Structure 1
Amino acid sequence: MKILMVAIPNHHFFQWVNQLKGAGFDVYWFDVTDGGPKSEKIEWVKQIKGWKLKCDFPLRHALKKHLPKMYRAIQKYNENSVEKAFKATYEAIEPDIVHCFEMQLSGLPILSIMEQNKTPFVYSSWGSDLFYFRELGLTNHKVQTFLKRIDYLITDCKRDHGIAVKNGFSNNYLGVFPGNGGLKLDIAQNEAAHKREIILIKGYDDGVGKASVVLNALGLLPKSVLENKQIVVYSADKTIEKQITDSKFLSDLNITVFSRYAFVENKKLLGMMGKAMVHIGNSLSDGMPNALLEAMGMGAFPIQSNPGHVTEEVIADGKNGLLIRDALNANEIAEHIKRAINNEELRKSTQSQNIDFIQKQYGRNHLKPKIVELYQNIKRTFH
């Protein structure tokens, strides 16, 4: 069976695809952005890259750097369209299944070609993909047209299936799967609750992510609450780095920042989660955050925003974590942080519960046969 994947180069996508390694499928990846070299993370996959440029002329990179306006003008005539490249790829491969990951970046660019055939079309929604589509610049009509062509839907939370149905989706729903195909966690790295001293904060502050409000919340806490604690902000936007530098209160804390633009190995991040007393993620929009699931699986007590009620699918407020009701309310977040830090018994009682839950629901080995069977069932249904 030939499966044609359509996606941007993305760590979660690579992890999903690797669940199919050794399953007997012929897997192809059409890099919808044609960005960078072939990926070593999925070296076994047939990768369709190098389709964008009609001519890679001499001194192209120098022209791009020093005369960007002229470069953009030339590239209007020197680049193949996604539609043209995908059509050629589709016709050459004649896939049994086409699977796109994310609507705006990967699904809509190939929709015109998929509307010309009846090949089973699978769509995995990611993050804010469906929940925030209007704010991302998509119209109801465009989304509804796209969903009308989709034969099979996969979401990373229950919420987004409901949104798809409200926008006309009436075909086959394959269920909830994490966008990366499951988590592989070394729970042997997990520290006992009483040994954990790290406050771990996801540092996205890009309009949707609101780590800045979390930092404001820290500023509302008595220093005594944060004493002897190590604060780690990872995937931090430049605005977050500046906010910390500009604040005497924050600068005086034991705080470490990992930039969003500097690679931090996932194994290292998981190690920090295994030593964190709390993990804080705050945003106006999201699907089921992979970072939240990883943190829970590594025993960190979760404090997480709840856009569209998605996070409450895994967190019972006050029992195995704390839900942020208003992502813009620093006072609320400050109260949550103080409550979690001061209540070691709550953190201790939920740690093993959360670890077991994540292993059973999101464990990579547990999900692999289900993902393989998913494609096999599609093939049987259509042929």
Structure 2
Amino acid sequence: MGITLEARLLIILGKSTLSYEEIEEAKHIMENRHFHIPRFFRLIFEHKVATFVYQNLLRHELTNYIKRKYRHVLEIYCADITRRFTAINREVDCLVRNFAEKQVKPVFLKGVLLNNTIYKEFGVRYCNDIDILVREEDITVVSQILTELGFIQGFEGDNLTIVNSTRKQEVFHRMTTHELIGFLKKFDNPVFGLLAVDLQFDIFSRSKNMKVQYNIPALFDSINPVGEGSTESVMYSLSPANNILQLASHLYNDAVRFPNVLEGKDGELYKYTDLYEYIIANANHVNWDRFADSVCGHETASILYYALYHAELLFGSFVPSSFMNAIRPANLTYLDQYGFEEEQRFTWQTPFLTRFFDSEKRREEIMQINPAQFKETAKFMNFYEQQI
């Protein structure tokens, strides 16, 4: 693939499903005298897969290949992530009970969902906040629940303070994105000072030039309860096919929207791992022909293809080839482009696998572009900087 030893090892250990051949390859890489542990550790944290790497080192008896001082860093970090998610899950349980009392059924997404399903037996995946998809007609009720539980809609200020959002900011954010401004709550907790709940009312970006016309209310027609909890108080998730669509859209948004690229969100392996592991775990629960029929001829096909195409560049083929062929767009030039919200898209000069594992090279290429060409990005970011 033309990537470094460290990048290849990250691909292998940065997921929960490993084959015997991959375990053996990991051993050979770590035995190689050219393998550079400090460079590997930088990648681990840049791509937010430290917990995956650590669990795989333990499970497959690979810890002796890593020096003790590096193992110790992983141990401390992963223990902290586990404590953090345990605390987050307590808040999730509280939310679920309150949602049930108000007879609303928001859907949990991403980290909270995955840690409670496909990663439950493996270990905790990095989770920063709580992402929830809400019916538009339930936004007021769910917002009230969060407010009653001590969450404040706004931004993080200095020293873990919360800066209340203005009405104008809230309206602007809702009109230009797929979510509300986050709800924050301060905790007297060594694991985290602030916890954010992000309420989303769409699974696709609503940025200019990226809007997707999709029947979002229909997503709630096939939601499923998660786990074996009480039917009166249970977490809900999207159907497997719709979860794949949501994970793909999240990855796509971070990979092609310029503010996200500028923050390095396009170079994070854990999003590709989520898509890979979710599909591996749910492949038999998806009617792939029906799924293809539902997106073909629609903008969602290109979003799905983008995410799955690049995930397969990393992990190899894991999606039915018939599905990939069915949703394949006629024009594939967009696969190497970004800045989709702008009037003119930009094309990467550095190949995907190279830039994905080299954040400096990726940033150098971005910095060569005249900022004046990113008018929509500037308009969006300047609005919040003004603190209207």
Q: What TM-score bracket applies, with the shorter chain setting the length?
A: under 0.3
- The answer to which structure has the higher strand fraction is 1
- The answer to which structure has the higher helix fraction is 2
| Higher radius of gyration, 1 or 2 | 1
